[in-house]
Amino acid sequence: MKFLITAGPTREPIDPVRYISNRSSGKMGYAIAQAALDAGHEVVLISGPVALPAPARAQLVRVTTADEMYDAVHANLGGIDIAVLCAAVADFKPAVFVARKIKKSAGIPMIELVPTRDILASLGALPEKKFLLAGFAAETDDLEKNAREKLEKKRCDVVVANDVSAPGLGFESDENELTIFLPDQPGRVLPRGSKSDIAKVLVKILCAAQ
Ligand code: PMT
């Protein structure tokens, strides 16, 4: 099967030296890419800026901003069977990029933010989607309620919920715990373990659901 996986954060530039971003090391998305490759699948990995080596045999597409990630995802949909959107895409970007460094001496700047395009929702809205769409949900509370809302609103086939409030799990850590939600089925917990072990189980579940 062919996977398209997004990973890492995006960066939304304010001026040439500053940006807005999200906490994400890319470890979870890269672990899913590696697990899919190890299971013999083909992988297009669309990655925001991370400090990880590219998994050998993945087709790596590097991007920086949410707009670039949106375009790269849509340009790479050909022939994919499973899309896993694990990236921590910035929800907002500055309305205007200031071409020169904003001087501290000019006072505290007011930065107007505008929403970025929602990549996951744009895939869910495709009229003839032939692939399984798995979104992630990073939540600090009401995990199941929020994950099921995303499942419906963004028209995903699967939502992988990540409780990012627990210490040592989620963002940046080597371990994680995930709960997988499919419509009309109880959530399935993948208990705490290395991102690499969890990714192997997740890949099997996604292939079975495809
Ligand atoms: O990278 P690590 O340090 O290993 O951390 C892993 C992780 C915690 C980042 C990962 O497991 C995770 O939870 N990723 C989703 C992070 C996130 O942004 O969640 P969200 O609930 O805000 O977004 C919901 C979904 O919409 C996600 O699939 C996201 O990729 C997608 N999205 C969000 C905004 C946007 N503009 N476009 C999107 O496609």
Predicted TM-score (pTM) of the model is 0.97
Q: Is there a contact between 188 and 20 (Cβ–Cβ < 8 Å)?
A: no
Domains detected in the chain: 2-209 (3.40.50.10300)
122 Cα nearest atom in ligand 1: 39
pLDDT tens for 59-83 read: 999 999 999 999 999 999 999 999 9
Is residue 76 part of the annotated active site? The answer reads no
Distance CA 27, CA 185 (A): 28
Cα 142 to ligand 1 centroid, rounded to whole Å: 16
pLDDT in tens, 146-177: 999 999 999 999 999 999 998 899 999 999 99
109 Cα to the center of ligand 1, angstroms: 28
How many CB atoms lie under 10 A from the CB of residue 103? 9
Angle at 60 between CA 59 and CA 61, to 5 degrees: 120
